[in-house]
Amino acid sequence: MSDKRQLLKKYMKCLDEMKSELKRRQLKKTLKTHIKALNDLECELKRREGKHTGGKRGRVCDSSNLPHPQILEEYTTPYCRLREEARELLEAAVVARKEAYVPYSKFPVGASFRSKCGYVYSGCNIENVAFTPGCCAERTALAKGVSEGQLTYTAGAVVAYHPKGFTTPCGVCRQFLREFACRDFPIYIANAPCPDREGAIPAIRDEDEVLVTSVYRLLPHSFNTFE
């Protein structure tokens, strides 16, 4: 009889714990509902305030209610400290830069990107005498991947050389990158000199600094919706 009572007490205790957990979840759900209602009310009040004041141009936009995706950190690090996957992308970009068609700017750029499936696509910049039809290395590489059905990417690399520092993607390429970034992903940028002799492919030295940035940092307020 005592065993049955102990078992009954155990079941009653479990039941009480389940009731407490259920109540906690319901309260949490109710709290979220109230917070959303307050945010909606705040937005409506601000909208009416702007309408009442004539919607003056130059007002500072309050972005507290806008969705903010998770953005990766930006930093520099020696090439030797990068993971093998990052070095592989940079090496692919270096090789791709060798094929750059730049008779006008003489500024070769190489880029590479790894798709979600693990494939690496690389490309170089291709210039045109009319300038506008030219294509940057980043878009060349991504276009190759997209044409093969790869629409999501996890990392990228850009290699160029400028005596004053790193060469980051242009504005058009940043928006192009954002189109295929469901989530923020790292972009490794190296400032590697061009080959001294024809046919040579210079390697990035272990002590060379690499800028590690990301798609969302390059274009924080992109023309897109946040998932």
Residues with a known catalytic role: 138
C-alpha dist (Å) from residue 75 to 89, 93, 116, 209, 211: 18, 20, 24, 10, 6
Please enumerate in sequence order all residues whose Cβ is within 8 A of that of 14, keeping only pairs 6 or more positions apart, or say none: none
**What ranges make up the beta strands (E) of the chain?**
75-78, 110-115, 120-124, 153-160, 186-191, 209-214
Q: What CA–CA distance (Å, rounded) separates 112 from 187?
A: 10
Q: Is 117 annotated as a binding residue?
A: no
C-alpha dist (Å) from residue 12 to 6, 7, 40, 116: 10, 9, 42, 50
Q: Is 170 annotated as a binding residue?
A: yes
State residue 187 phi and psi, 5-degree precision: -125, 120
The pairing of beta strand 209-214 with beta strand 75-78: antiparallel
Q: Is 173 annotated as a binding residue?
A: yes
The pairs formed by 26-30 with CB atoms below 8 angstroms and a separation of 24 or more are: none
Residue 98 has which token pair?
């060798």
State residue 192 phi and psi, 5-degree precision: -105, 130
Of 156, 152, 146, 149, whose CA–CA distance to 115 is shortest? Answer: 152
Annotated binding site, which residues? 136, 170, 173
State the binding site for Zn(2+): 136, 170, 173
